Structure 1
Amino acid sequence: MTAVRRGLSSGLVQAFLVLIGLIWLTPLGGLFLSSMRSAEDTAKGGWWTALLAPGQLSFDNYGSLLKNSGMTQAFWNTVLISVPTTALVVVLAALAGYAFAWLDFPGRDAVFLVVVALLVVPVQIGLLPVAKLFGQLGLFGSIPGVVLFHVAYGLPFAVFLLRNYFAEIPQEMLEAARMDGGTEWRIFRQLVLPVARPALASLAVFQFLWVWNDMLVALLFADSSAQPLTVALQSQTRQFGSNIDVLAPGAFLSLIVPLVVFFAFQRHFVQGVMAGSVK
């Protein structure tokens, strides 16, 4: 282990990792430069030509994007879909995970087995039946309909993840809290949730990224007034040659928000992913 640590800390390895990082960031940098170029400059050459002619870069495209009511509405639709979905999945999965891990009720193992079995159900199977159901309920084409679909299909994995994490909490700690007069709700809220913060943060990041970048569900369940940014950008690609000045900044905006969310929760995310890997 010591030899491995010394090898990873060597200058050559660190230089190699920096090189890999730069290569990975190259498409992001190219998209950012493209988003700051006019359609005429883009037609003349690739984004790398802007490195030799920085005068062609400006934020005019972003100003035009903010004045595009369709794109701004799509951005806020994406927020209204992603944030409630992530919050509902985390809250409901935390409650269910604690119940499956530490509460004794009839049929607990059978119900949890059904939850685990739902993990193997492809999302494509439920598209048409759920679309028909939402049509009967008046939810088809609306933001609440898209949110409910994502919540339903995100809960099995979320419950499975949090249940396994909660089960690793020492039983003696929970028994001591019960002996001190703590109710199950108080134990869950003041003891279990703080301990499970890394797992909750990891789940929130995964769920947010999944919903923010989704296009399949939104393409089917959202109408023109509820379409998120992914669907709006997809519709813009039909005219790629004439509206690159709208498509590029919109794509960069769609990309930068998940990156900000990831880096904001990076510390908790890494703790959650590494939980249980070291005894």
Structure 2
Amino acid sequence: MEGSAGKSPALIWVVNLSAILLVVLWTIPTFGIFVSSFRDRDAISTSGWWTALSASEQSLVARAGAPDDAVPVGSEWVISGSVFDEGMSGEVTAFGSRAQDPTSNEPGEPLVLRDDGVLQVAEDGTYTITYAEQPEGRRGARIFYTTEVAPEITLDNYRTVLGSEGVAQSFLNSLTVSIPATIIPILIAAFAAYALAWMEFPGRVMLVALIVGLLVVPLQLSLIPLLKFYGVVGEAFGVSAKGYVGIWLAHTGFGLPLAVYLLRNYMAGLPREVIESARVDGATDFGIFMRIVLPLSFPALASFAIFQFLWTWNDLLIAKVFLGQSDNQMVLTGRLVELLGSRGGDWEILTTSAFITIIVPLIVFFSMQKYLVRGLLAGSVKGG
């Protein structure tokens, strides 16, 4: 039996469950990035982000004192210490001497090592290694142990990233690139979309087909030719080929096919009666566009603005190609890549950097998301 809207209840359930699944699949990684951004290097490398939400049992390793640290006690030689670092405490639940079996012994049980030493680890983490004779060697034995580790929250990663030199300037540079690179293609595409939707002229169908074809052209194919063209034009006018104007035009060119396609489909779905009535009343095409079509097309404009802003804000490739790498021009993504080090040695700030970069896109998306679906689906089904 079909519902009142003519749709099967089973189909509605499938659609709703699919939507919920997509939301969960997108939310979990984002939440994981947020949690990991407050963890230090050791915590990130030894356990998953979900363990930071509550105390968890972790397997750790400590290095015992060197044989030279052994002191005579009666007829034996003893090395003592704690598996926990200075200032730390906890409760050891099991220990071992091999990575293959790190929980072979309970706290307090003796464990014979390969060098004939007898290892004992107490619940509070203190250990003793007893030898019948003075031990020899350069390095102490490894002690594997498990303990309950309370979650640790730290702001050190945020202090490192936000306190780094040039981050604030790079943030402003990204805004300087993204905002004009979002507005310019919208302005151009809106006029083009109206002409393709409501104005009759030769070759209109071919232009629409060409725009659809441009949607599948990889931007990487045009980077080198476009950069060479910028170089020729810059040399002719005596200006640098790399700058904000160049990257604005590059993002505009790469974003126009999608913008024209979305806006044209939306405007073509507007009620024809409204457009014809305005023409009968003597309105020009420019007047119809400015007073009727443009206000009604706001959902489509907003949906493309979301896509274009997210793309330009997160861009790194085009910024490296068409923008200089000086401090007063480097975008935020480029600055954060530099903070990782030449070999990625400071990888612990990666999650923090990722979350910092998505804050602005999240604000833009949630403030305009109600127009996203309306703008994408409008024009696909026309009302009667």
TM-score, length of structure 2 as denominator length: 0.63
Q: Which has the higher contact order (CA 8 A, sep 6+)?
A: 1
Alignment of 1:12-91 (within 5 A): 21-52=23-54, 56-91=152-187
Residues 51 and 151 of structure 2 are in contact (CA less than 8 Å); yes or no, is this contact kept in structure 1? no
After superposition, the Cα gap between the structure-2 partners of 1:69 and 1:157, relative to the gap in structure 1 and judged at 3 Å, is same
Q: Deviations over 1:219-274 (max 9, x none)?
A: 322222323233333344444343523x3222101123222222211111111223
Change (3 A) 1:229 1:129: same
Deviation at 1:199, TM superposition (A): 1.4
Higher strand share: 2
- What secondary structure is seen at the aligned counterpart in 2 of 1:185? helix
Query: Quick one: which of 344, 348, 356 aligns to 1:244?
Result: 348
Matched, 1:265 2:361: no
Instruction: Name the CA distance, whole Å, in 1 between partners of 2:15 and 2:305.
Output: 32
Structure 1 residues 159-168 or 262-271, which shifts more? 159-168
Question: Which residue number in structure 1 is paired with residue 246 of structure 2?
Answer: 145
Structure 1 pair 181/260, CA: closer, same or farther in 2 (3 Å)? same
What are structure 2's unaligned runs of at least 5 residues? Answer: 56-149
Listed as ranges, the gaps of 5+ residues in structure 1 are: none
Report the CA distance between 1:143 and its aligned residue. Answer: 2.5
User: Which sits farther off after the overlay, 90-99 or 158-167?
Assistant: 158-167
Counterpart selection for 1:193 from 294, 302, 325: 294
Q: CA deviation at 1:15?
A: 7.9
User: Quick one: distance in 2 between partners of 1:152 and 1:20?
Assistant: 31
Among 191, 196, 209, the residue aligned to 1:95: 191
Give the whole-Å Cα distance in 2 for the aligned partners of 1:166 and 1:13.
27
CA distance in 1 between counterparts of 2:203 and 2:11 reads 49
Change (3 A) 1:109 1:276: closer
Partner of 1:215: 316
Q: What is the distance in 2 between the residues matched to 1:213 and 1:110?
A: 33
Aligned residues: 277
Q: How far apart are 1:114 and its partner, in Å?
A: 4.3
1:128 is aligned, of 209, 215, 224, to 224
Name the CA shift for 1:183/1:4 in 2 (closer, same or farther; >3 Å): closer
Contact 1:71 1:250 in 2 (8 A): no
CA distance in structure 1 between the partners assigned to 2:262 and 2:304 by the alignment: 8
Measured against aligned partners, the alpha-carbon deviations of 1:109-147 in whole angstroms (never above 9, x if no partner) come to 555554444334331221111112223313433232222
Q: Tell me by how many angstroms 1:175 deviates.
A: 2.1
CA contact (8 A) 1:139 1:145 kept: no
User: Percent identity of the aligned residues?
Assistant: 42
* Pair 1:40–1:141, CA change in 2 (3 A): farther
Over aligned residue pairs, what C-alpha RMSD do you find? 3.0
Aligned partners of 1:140, 1:250: CA distance in 2, in Å? 30
Please report how far the alpha carbon of residue 158 of structure 1 lies from its aligned counterpart in structure 2 after TM superposition.
1.5
Contact residue 193 and residue 264 of structure 2 kept, 8 A: yes
Aligned to 1:172: 273
Whole-Å Cα distance in 2 between the matches of residues 117 and 20 of structure 1?
29
Q: Distance in 2 between matches of 1:175 and 1:16?
A: 41
Q: Which has the larger radius of gyration?
A: 2
2: CA distance, partners of 1:18 / 1:155: 32
Per-residue CA deviations over 1:8-28 (Å, capped at 9, x if unaligned) read 777x99788656644442221
Task: Please tell me whether the aligned partners of residues 267 and 293 of structure 2 are also in contact (alpha carbons under 8 angstroms).
Answer: yes
State the TM-score, normalizing by the size of structure 1.
Answer: 0.83
